[in-house]
Each structure stands twice: as structure tokens, then as C-alpha cells.
Amino acid sequence: MTRVFSSDYRDHGTRFPDPFPVHRLKRVDRPTTWINEEEIRRVDERDGGFHRAGRGEYGGHIQKEYHRFQEKFPLSEALFEVTHRLGEPDAVSGAPRRGPAPGTDDPAAMARHIKETGYFLRADMIGICRLPPYAVFTHGRKDDQPIELTHDYAIAILVDQDYKTSAAFNGRDWISNSMSLVAYSHSAFIACSLAEYIRSLGYEARAHHATNYQVVLPPILLWAGLGEMSRMGDVVLNPFLGPRFKAAVVTTSLPLEVDKPIDFGLQDFCDKCGKCARECPVQAISHGGKVREKGYERWPVNVEKCTSMRVGNRLGSGCGTCIKVCPWNKPFTPFHRMVSWSLRNLPPTRRPAIWADDLFGYGRPDPRRKWWLDLEVVDGEWRIPRCGPSSQLPVREEP
Amino acid sequence: MTRVFSSDYRDHGTRFPDPFPVHRLKRVDRPTTWINEEEIRRVDERDGGFHRAGRGEYGGHIQKEYHRFQEKFPLSEALFEVTHRLGEPDAVSGAPRRGPAPGTDDPAAMARHIKETGYFLRADMIGICRLPPYAVFTHGRKDDQPIELTHDYAIAILVDQDYKTSAAFNGRDWISNSMSLVAYSHSAFIACSLAEYIRSLGYEARAHHATNYQVVLPPILLWAGLGEMSRMGDVVLNPFLGPRFKAAVVTTSLPLEVDKPIDFGLQDFCDKCGKCARECPVQAISHGGKVREKGYERWPVNVEKCTSMRVGNRLGSGCGTCIKVCPWNKPFTPFHRMVSWSLRNLPPTRRPAIWADDLFGYGRPDPRRKWWLDLEVVDGEWRIPRCGPSSQLPVREEP
């Protein structure tokens, strides 16, 4: 994609490591949603919605669909295949290649260096935190073994799901699952490369990504200053990418200066907005307030409904309707940067902005930008799928 | 990296598939340098400079350095490792997963679709041509076997080597080889993903990239309209990325409408400029005119000197001094887009621009942007390397 440089270009790589102006965000000592470290228990990866779907806990139909979830659409199948290959044990982990490199013992300098390395490796945004012990899964789904992970630091890597495609789709078209997978695959590739590099520098490092996790991501994203909890439930929302990203993590023994959590007013914004709850096709997102459970404060989400919609979608592949319609899902243009600034800093502008977001038609699919093929594989054979009402062929002016 | 949208944003994905305004380039029927298809013979991958270096044809010292070329710098070592993994036979090739998908028989629509898919997969630029039979190697270096490749089309994928880093380095710092490798690794990852996708659509497809080629790239890049031959010899130069990219290719049986070669005035520009020849540390680049040999017209380059510099560099890792100093190595900012337009369209502006490029200090390292660590591994142990005169520690204002 085009790399056009913003007005922050002069600062990028000189004063600040980050291409996005994250230095303009308000930093706070703790995440903006209540977290009770005493109460949180480590979770088992096998208890996640997708794995429950695969075990048949959401019914036989969803279980059957789970097993063709990637294969049903050819681009998902391809992206899952490459991501799966990155999940091999020797792709995510290994021993440090030698003793620690000289001059790598300054945590502040190394935090900056690791971020600049990650941006060189084409990450979109990076944050660093201490690895919360409660973010480590008790057991992995791959081998059912208990997980021991003693790394002190977590480096979180965000990759955009592609604004252009997110403008084109209706939230649950055939491309939906591939949007997740393109960000999963690239964040996985960057995390594997960065973990290799840290091991080359002589420190322990392990990549965690979609096809091989030992950690749960939301608390890491919160502590690393990459977002706040949103109405979408488990989704951490970033002030520049909105919810339109996926993350991978590198955990490491390399001492690093950590980032602080951010506060860009999202708790107030999500309280006022509720567009995701209104548009969710299965009404899995709460219209009400936050709750406190299992040590976290968050908007509750119906995981069974959400997972069953994504896995069982009959008119497409996956679902990201909440990502599509969220007012924070915008391109990083001068206009939207100005709006984002005012949403972050001027609370009275939030209600008018939410109203204008609907008025200007954001959240509706833009058929001029549709580029994917509506195709479905059923039992190894092609089928021209039924599509939802908003799926249409690209409408194009001749160049 | 930040994806800021240019004034072409409105066209990207609607009128045109490409994020860069490639539709503004002048198209021609044949590459701007003479090619005699009758005279060209297929080449053997094992005859390349690097492989000669590895066999000791450039002397025992260069041979020894060849075997520690990636390992000597930790980031190169890491990036080579991940790229190497992508070179496995099952990562680059495989059988079509099923019969051809319905609706994929319109070559023009599929060419656009494949480009938009490649951009979705985070490629920087894409071009398509018929695979010239003479672009297929006779033998591969991996298995010494004769190569049979019958695909009709080649999709070339360009990935930027990172402008920020290219502004920071002196052309032959410790980061130089990693700049190549970051673009090699990402173009490889995109090519492997795209080839998987085409096989999922039911057509043959094979990825060709740095650790597993069956094709030679320059003729493919010329025919696919991605650049013109430059004074740097075998380097195809792109009007928007300059020489600051690496390419990977997917060859396929999927019928595609092809692009036409481009003419942006580079033959005249390189004739007038010669900055790469002036700055080459080993004077491997010709100061004179083009020659015709083996069916191609090109500026001659001393492959032994060039390879020996890159492999044997004692003050860094690799060498891309020609890439660094080329006046086409610029960011895609409004100012540089305007200059690029005038260089392409107004020949009399070329001489003043070449003169101004030196005057404004382009081609000199910017120490404020240095972010990598100067480190060297010798026989498995760390060494603080000697650095060249322009290597220095980052100079940073406090945020």
C-alpha cells in the first residue's frame, strides 16, 4: 500500500519512533477499565468461543461449519495455510543464539530500538508492557499441556485489516474472515521475525499469534497503551486504527522500558454511541452498561451468539460488522485526524460526531470499492453463494 | 508504517486498483532498452555473483565471508531465517486445490482482482506480464536440477526497503543487508500467500523469491511495467520507489490481462546523472554508455567488484550505496511527487534536479534517523565492529 508521509513524518524516526502520533495521547497509570489483579484467574485457551464451537458446544450445525470455516472461501483458506505454517514450534520459539549482545542493557534505549525494528518490519503500531502473569493461558489448545512462560515483557504488534476493504464490505461479506486473517498473518510474520531477532541478540523470545498463542491479548494491549476496552466486549479499540486491527505478541526476557496505558475518552464515547450494538446482526453486543466479572470491567458480550454468527454465517465468511460500523474505523486522513483529535480531547463533540457518522453514511458498504470474488466451497466443490442484500458486483467507471 | 492516504486515495480501489498513481505513467509496447529475444539464452542460477562468491571464484576471503554473510549481523540472521523457511518446496508450490472457480475466466477482471488481492496482502506495487521463456533459469542452485516451468503469466510484487532507514544509512552500514532482507522477506511472504490463493482458486501457481527462484527478475519487471533498466546495471528502477525495493514473483496458469512496459525518461536521466557510478565505493558501476550483450542492452556493471563489496564489507553488512544515493530514492510526499512528475514529463528539468539533489544533501546519511545497533558476530561471538566514518550514534532531542 502507498506509504504517504503525514505531517508527523519529520518526527517519525527522529524525535519519536512511531509513525502514528501516539506521543499525543494522554497516558494514565492504569487502564481506564477496572482490573482487579487479585481476582483474575489465568484462563484456558480451550475455553475460547471458537474452540467451544469446534467441540460442538454451540450445536451440531456450528460444529460442522467450524470445520470448513477457513476452507469455505479460497482467500481465507490460503491465508490460514500461511499463518498455520508460522505456528510451527520452531517458527515461534527457540533458544537464544548466543549470549546477550553488548550495549543492550539500557531498557529505555532497547524499547525504542525494538519499536523501530518492529516498524522497519512493517508493523502498524507497537506497544510494550510487563507481561501480566494472568495473561498467560493455563493450557494450550494444540497439545493440551500446561503452559509455563516466565518472560517479563510483552511487545504487542498491531496490523491494520485494510481500510479500503473495510469501506467496501457490509461487515459480513465473503471477505470478512480474510480481513481478520490478513492482519493475523502479517502480525504473525512480524512477530516471528522480531522474536528471531531478539534471540539473535542473545535473549529469550517467543512469538504468540493466531495459530500459536500462550497468552491472551486484551490485557496486554491495555497495559501496552494500545487501546481501551470497548462496547464490543473483548475488543480493545485503538485511537488511530479503531477496532480494525489484529495483534500478535512477542514475550521476552530482554529488559525493556514499558509504555503506559492510554485514555482517549473511549469509556464515555462507547457509553454514548452503541452503534455496534445497534448493528450487530445477532444482537450479541450489550446496549447497557459495563459489568465487573472475573476481575475485569467490561461491556458484556454474548460469546455464543457472536461465535455462532461468525462461524455459521450463511451469506458470507466470518463477521466484523461491529468493526465495520464503529465510528473509530476511519482512514488516517487530515480530516479524520482532526475529528479524532476532537473526539479525544473535547467531550462535547462526541454526541454530534456519533450523529454525523450515521448522517454521512459511514458504516454502509461502498460497492465501488468491492474487489473480492463471492465464491464458496462446499464439500470440496465450487458454489456461487447466495449473498446478502448489500453484496453486489463492483460498479466501476472505465479508466 | 503509517498508511496516510494521498490525493489519489479517492481513485484507489474505485477507478484504479493501485495505490501509487501508475495509471499516470506513459506506456510503451516494448521496454525502453533493446531486447533481442532471438539472442537471449536462459541463464543458470548457479552463475550468479553470490553463488560464484560462495564457490570461491572471487577468492578465499570472499568465500569465507559469504558463509557468514547473514550471521554476521543479528537482524540479517533473523530475516534470513524467516525467508529461508518460506523457501521450502511446500511453501512456494503445490497442486491446485480443486478445479477452476466459476467466473474466473475474464483475464481483464482477474488481472484487476489479483492486483487488488496483492494490495490487500500489503504489496507496495504489482505488475503483470507474460512470462518470457528466457526468464526461466536453466538450473536451480538448490538441487542442481534442470527447471521446467510452463506457466504463461508472471505477477511481480514490489516491497519497499523502508525510506526512513534509507535516509539514515550511509549505503553500506550494518543495516544495509537487512534493508534488502526486509523487502525480500515480505515480498516472499506476499508471493507465497498469493500463490496459495491462486491454487485455492483452482489454477497452477508458484512463488519465486529470494530463497527459492526459478526465474530471473529484471526482464519480468520490465515487461510488467514496473521500471526501466538503470545505470546500476541489473537494477530495474521504479518511478515511485526508485531502486529502493525488492521483488518476488508468482508464475501462474491463470489467464490474466498483462500490463505494458513504461517509459518515464530514465534512459535519458541515467545518461545525464551517474551519481551511483560516482559514489560506488568500489567503482563497479560504469561512467560510460550502455552496451549490448547476450541479447540485452544495459549499462555494464562489474559483478565481481559489486558482489565482493557486498559480501566482504568490513565496515558494515552488505552494500546499497547506489540505492542510497540515487535521486529517485525519495519519499512519496507532495513535494517529491511534483519533482517526480517533472522529471518524467519535462526533460529539461532533469539536469537542474540532478544538481539540486547534491546541493540539498540527498544521498548523505541522516544520523538523527539511525535506529539500528552496530554489532558484529565473529565465529559465534560478539564484536563491537569498526564502523565507517559516517556511522555514528543516534543524536536525539528529548521528546
pLDDT value of residue A137:
97
- pLDDT tens digits along A315-361: 999 999 999 999 999 998 889 999 999 999 999 999 999 999 999 99
Closest-CA distance, A207 to chain B, in angstroms, reads 13
Strand partners, A246: A159
Integer Cα distance of B117 and B201 in angstroms: 13
Closest-CA distance, A184 to chain B, in angstroms, reads 11
B220: cell is: 519480468
Q: Which residue has the cell 468493526?
A: A323
A41 assigned to some structural domain? yes
Closest-CA distance, B42 to chain A, in angstroms, reads 32
Q: What Å distances lie between residue A22 and A345, B24, B219, B306, CA to CA? A: 14, 35, 43, 41
Integer Cα distance of A11 and A23 in angstroms: 10
A377: cell is: 466451497
Specify the length of chain B in residues. 399
Backbone angles phi, psi at B366, to 5 degrees: -105, 100
pLDDT value of residue A79:
98
Strand partners, A12: A16
- Residue in chain B closest to A160 (alpha carbons) equals B3
Do B122 and A186 count as a contact with CB atoms less than 8 A apart?
yes
- Residue in chain A closest to B22 (alpha carbons) equals A2
Q: DSSP H helical segments within B45-130, as ranges?
A: 49-54, 60-66, 74-85, 89-92, 107-120
Contact B258, B129 (CB under 8 A): yes
Integer Cα distance of B108 and B112 in angstroms: 6
A204 assigned to some structural domain? yes
Integer Cα distance of A16 and A176 in angstroms: 34
Long-range pairs for B53-56 at CB < 8 Å and ≥24 separation? B53/B307, B53/B308, B53/B311
- Residue in chain A closest to B3 (alpha carbons) equals A3
Do A332 and B9 count as a contact with CB atoms less than 8 A apart?
no
Do A77 and B200 count as a contact with CB atoms less than 8 A apart?
yes
Q: What Å distances lie between residue A207 and A198, A212, B216, CA to CA? A: 11, 8, 34
Integer Cα distance of B153 and B253 in angstroms: 6
Q: Which residue has the cell 508464475?
A: B251
Tell me the torsion sign for CA atoms B262, B264, B270, B275. negative
B74 to chain A: which residues are within 8 Å by CB?
97, 101, 197, 200-201
Closest-CA distance, A81 to chain B, in angstroms, reads 8
A121 to chain B: which residues are within 8 Å by CB?
182
Question: Hey, is B65 helix, strand or coil?
Answer: helix
Integer Cα distance of B4 and B226 in angstroms: 23
Closest-CA distance, A232 to chain B, in angstroms, reads 25
Integer Cα distance of A385 and A374 in angstroms: 7
In the predicted structure, residue B116 carries a pLDDT above the cut 80? yes
- Residue in chain A closest to B379 (alpha carbons) equals A98
- pLDDT tens digits along A276-292: 999 999 999 999 999 99
Do A368 and B332 count as a contact with CB atoms less than 8 A apart?
no
Residues 6+ apart with CB under 8 A from A46: A139, A141, A144
Do B371 and A120 count as a contact with CB atoms less than 8 A apart?
yes
Do B371 and A189 count as a contact with CB atoms less than 8 A apart?
no
Do A9 and B197 count as a contact with CB atoms less than 8 A apart?
no
Closest-CA distance, A367 to chain B, in angstroms, reads 9
Residue of A200, A257, A375, A398 to mutate for B, most B C-beta atoms under 10 A: A200
pLDDT value of residue A388:
62
Nearest alpha carbon to residue A3 among B90, B348, B161, B29 = B161
Contact A113, B371 (CB under 8 A): yes
A170: cell is: 457490509
Neighbours of B88 (CB within 10 A): 13
Do A13 and B371 count as a contact with CB atoms less than 8 A apart?
yes
Q: Which residue has the cell 508458484?
A: B206
**Model confidence, pTM:** 0.96
B306-326: average pLDDT: 96
pLDDT value of residue A198:
98
pLDDT value of residue B388:
62
Q: DSSP H helical segments within A171-302, as ranges?
A: 176-200, 217-223, 266-272, 275-279
**CB crowding B207-240: b at 16 or more within 10 Å, else e:** bbbbbbbbbbbbbbbbbbbbbbbbbbbbbbbbbb
B154: cell is: 508472471
Residue B267 is which amino acid? Q
B344-353: average pLDDT: 97
Give kind and range of the element (H or E) at residue B332: none
A213 assigned to some structural domain? yes
Cβ contacts below 8 Å, chain A against chain B, sum to 230
B11 assigned to some structural domain? no
A259: cell is: 509504555
Do B19 and A1 count as a contact with CB atoms less than 8 A apart?
yes
Contact B275, B363 (CB under 8 A): yes
- pLDDT tens digits along B272-296: 999 999 999 999 999 999 999 999 9
Do A113 and B371 count as a contact with CB atoms less than 8 A apart?
yes
A77 to chain B: which residues are within 8 Å by CB?
97, 196, 200
B201 assigned to some structural domain? yes
Do B332 and A165 count as a contact with CB atoms less than 8 A apart?
no
A182 to chain B: which residues are within 8 Å by CB?
120-122
Tell me the torsion sign for CA atoms A48, A54, A60, A65. positive
pLDDT value of residue A392:
47
Strand partners, B35: B296
Kindly write down the DSSP assignment for every residue of B242-271, as one continuous string: BT-EEEEEEEESS--PPP--B--SHHHHHH
pLDDT value of residue B386:
75
Domain count, chain B: 1
B181 to chain A: which residues are within 8 Å by CB?
none
B85 to chain A: which residues are within 8 Å by CB?
85, 91
> Alpha-carbon dihedral of residues B88, A121, A165, A387, nearest 10 degrees?
30
Q: What Å distances lie between residue B98 and A53, A382, B95, B200, CA to CA? A: 27, 9, 9, 7
A13 to chain B: which residues are within 8 Å by CB?
164, 167-168, 368-369, 371
Look up residue A321 and give its DSSP letter. Answer: H
Closest residue to B182, CB basis, from A17, A23, A121 = A121
Do A193 and B78 count as a contact with CB atoms less than 8 A apart?
yes
Extract the residue ranges of chain A whose pLDDT is less than 70. Answer: 1-10, 388-399
A119 to chain B: which residues are within 8 Å by CB?
1, 164
Contact B331, B369 (CB under 8 A): no
Residues 6+ apart with CB under 8 A from B3: A1, A2, A3, A4, A124, A160, A163, A331, A332
Backbone angles phi, psi at B305, to 5 degrees: -65, -45
Contact A371, B13 (CB under 8 A): yes
pLDDT value of residue A333:
86
Kindly write down the DSSP assignment for every residue of B349-395, as one continuous string: GHHHHHHHHHHTTTTS--GGG--S---EEETTEEE-----TT-----
Integer Cα distance of A58 and A55 in angstroms: 8
Closest-CA distance, B258 to chain A, in angstroms, reads 16
Residue A294 is which amino acid? K
Do A78 and B193 count as a contact with CB atoms less than 8 A apart?
yes
> What percent of chain A lies above the pLDDT cut of 70?
94
Integer Cα distance of A247 and A224 in angstroms: 12
**CB crowding A331-350: b at 16 or more within 10 Å, else e:** bbeeeebebbeebbeeeeeb
B218 assigned to some structural domain? yes
Integer Cα distance of B178 and A116 in angstroms: 13
Nearest alpha carbon to residue B167 among B368, B366, B374, B391 = B366
pLDDT value of residue B143:
83
A235: cell is: 475488543
Do A368 and B82 count as a contact with CB atoms less than 8 A apart?
no
Residue A314 is which amino acid? R
Neighbours of A396 (CB within 10 A): 17
- pLDDT tens digits along B193-227: 999 999 999 999 999 999 999 999 999 999 999 99
Look up residue B45 and give its DSSP letter. Answer: G
pLDDT value of residue B270:
98
A384 assigned to some structural domain? no
Contact B86, B209 (CB under 8 A): yes
Kindly write down the DSSP assignment for every residue of A199-230, as one continuous string: HHTTS-EEEEBTTB-SB-HHHHHHHTTS-EE-
Question: Hey, is A350 helix, strand or coil?
Answer: helix
A256 assigned to some structural domain? yes
Integer Cα distance of A374 and A379 in angstroms: 17
Residue of B80, B84, B120 to mutate for A, most A C-beta atoms under 10 A: B120
Closest-CA distance, B207 to chain A, in angstroms, reads 13
Do A189 and B193 count as a contact with CB atoms less than 8 A apart?
no
Domain ranges, residue B323: 22-365
